[in-house]
Chains A and B, each alone.
Chain A
Amino acid sequence: DAKTTQPPSMDCAEGRAANLPCNHSTISGNEYVYWYRQIHSQGPQYIIHGLKNNETNEMASLIITEDRKSSTLILPHATLRDTAVYYCIVFSGSSNTGKLIFGQGTTLQVKP
């Protein structure tokens, strides 16, 4: 029952920007877009989140379209250590469920 759609896999050359798309056409007004990644055998790592404005931190940038129906996570200079499964999740803290719904995510393979 994931509310997001992501491509199952993507490749990126080391040192280039990785742009990971996500569709969330049914997003509600109070839902944020969250991105996590999971490297094999580790727990998911929080990357970034946003409501409607573009966001940037030390790890990545998040671009949300004006209608909020899609977003793109940008890793500006991908390294081999960025190889992971990336999850796009819509979540509202005010929903009182505490439940993050993880879909299948995008497997990003960074190649030398």
Chain B
Amino acid sequence: EAGVTQSPTHLIKTRGQQVTLRCSPISGHTSVYWYQQALGLGLQFLLWYDEGEERNRGNFPPRFSGRQFPNYSSELNVNALELEDSALYLCASSYRVGPQHFGDGTRLSIL
């Protein structure tokens, strides 16, 4: 069974640019979650999508947004990139309220 897949694995952007990160959940999973892990910091909850709807978002500015598609895959969009957005962005998926299973993330570097 394929796990959660994220693309790209690495990305380099400059300040002010926009970025889109992609996530494919485990087959059969309907919920997708996004987390940010900045260097040396813990995982911070960003967003939760379930059945195409945003169910909850963490304490992040509106320039962090996303969506979930009918096939349950998801995108995370970050506008007006800032240096502090450099981090590992992790996607997780679950079936209903079951355990969240994580991908290996996209490492975003802002120059």
Name A residues whose Cβ lies closer than 8 Å to a Cβ of B. Answer: 34, 36, 41-46, 49, 93-94, 96-105
Interface string of B16-28 (1 = CB under 8 A from A): 0000000000000
Contacts of B72 in A (CB 8 A): none
B64 within 8 A of A: no
- Given A103-B42, A104-B42, residue A98 in contact with residue B31 (CB < 8 A): yes
Contacts of B97 in A (CB 8 A): 93-94
- Which single member of B31, B50, B56, B90 contacts A43 (CB below 8 Å)? B90
- Given A44-B43, A93-B97, A94-B97, residue A99 in contact with residue B102 (CB < 8 A): no
Q: Which residue of B lies closest to A94 (CB)?
A: B97
Interface SS majority for chain A: loop
**Contact call A96/B104, Cβ cutoff below 8 A:** no
Name B residues whose Cβ lies closer than 8 Å to a Cβ of A. Answer: 4, 31, 33, 35, 42-43, 45, 48, 50, 55-56, 58, 90, 92, 96-105
CA distance A93 to B31 in the complex (A): 12
**Contact call B100/A100, Cβ cutoff below 8 A:** yes
- Given A43-B102, A43-B104, A44-B90, residue A96 in contact with residue B96 (CB < 8 A): no
Contacts of A103 in B (CB 8 A): 42
Closest CB in chain A relative to B84 CB, distance in Å: 19
CA distance A59 to B105 in the complex (A): 23
Q: Which 6 pairs across A and B sit closest by C-beta, in order of nearness?
A: A93-B97, A98-B48, A43-B102, A102-B43, A99-B45, A43-B104
Q: Which residue of B lies closest to A99 (CB)?
A: B45
- Which single member of A36, A93, A99 contacts B56 (CB below 8 Å)? A99
Instruction: Offer 27 A-B interface pairs, CB within 8 angstroms, sorted by A.
Output: A34-B99, A36-B102, A42-B104, A43-B90, A43-B102, A43-B103, A43-B104, A44-B43, A44-B90, A44-B102, A45-B102, A46-B99, A49-B99, A93-B96, A97-B48, A98-B31, A98-B48, A98-B50, A98-B55, A98-B56, A99-B45, A99-B58, A100-B33, A100-B43, A101-B45, A103-B42, A104-B42
